[in-house]
Structure 1
Amino acid sequence: MENNMINGMDRVNPNLRDEILAELFLNQMMKNFKRSKILEEIDHSLKNKDKEAFLRLTEELKSVS
């Protein structure tokens, strides 16, 4: 979907295009960061054998992915 949007962006005002691309980039970076933090917390829950935290975090990870 993002590729289709990027391909059609040559018809958009360059300033608006840059703003949209920056927003897409930042959203992806925030998603990657959040996913990374959740994975770290999942590792920690496994290490501590905390089943409740593990189950909660895996559900949270599904919503981020």
Structure 2
Amino acid sequence: MEKKLLNSPQHSDENADAVVAEMFLNNVLLEFKREKIRKEIDQTLQDGNKDLFLKLTDELKKIS
């Protein structure tokens, strides 16, 4: 049976891949949230809902 050391290059490569994958997924999720809020903001403008517009623009500022 093959033993793997904690500091082996294979372990580092796996960690690096996991970090990159997590960063990618976080970025995709954040962009999805931004786009959803932008669409909701557009709808509030059409509806004339100032209170919801202000709430959504504040939320968009926080995640941008």
Q: TM-score range by the shorter chain?
A: 0.7 to 0.9
Q: Which one has the largest radius of gyration? A: 2
Extract unaligned runs of 5+ from structure 1: 1-11
| TM-score normalised by length of structure 2 | 0.82
- The CA distance in 1 between the partners of 2:55 and 2:34, in whole Å, is 14
- Normalised by the length of structure 1, the TM-score is 0.81
Post-superposition shift, 1:20? 0.1
Q: How does 1:1-65 map to 2 (within 5 A)?
A: 13-65=12-64
Runs ≥4 residues deviating over 6 A:
none
Which runs of 5 or more structure 2 residues have no equivalent in the other structure? 1-10
Whichever structure has more helix as a proportion of its residues is: 1
RMSD: 1.1
AA at the equivalent of 1:55: L
User: 2:50 is aligned with what amino acid?
Assistant: K
Q: Identity over aligned residues, as a percent?
A: 44
Aligned to 1:9: none
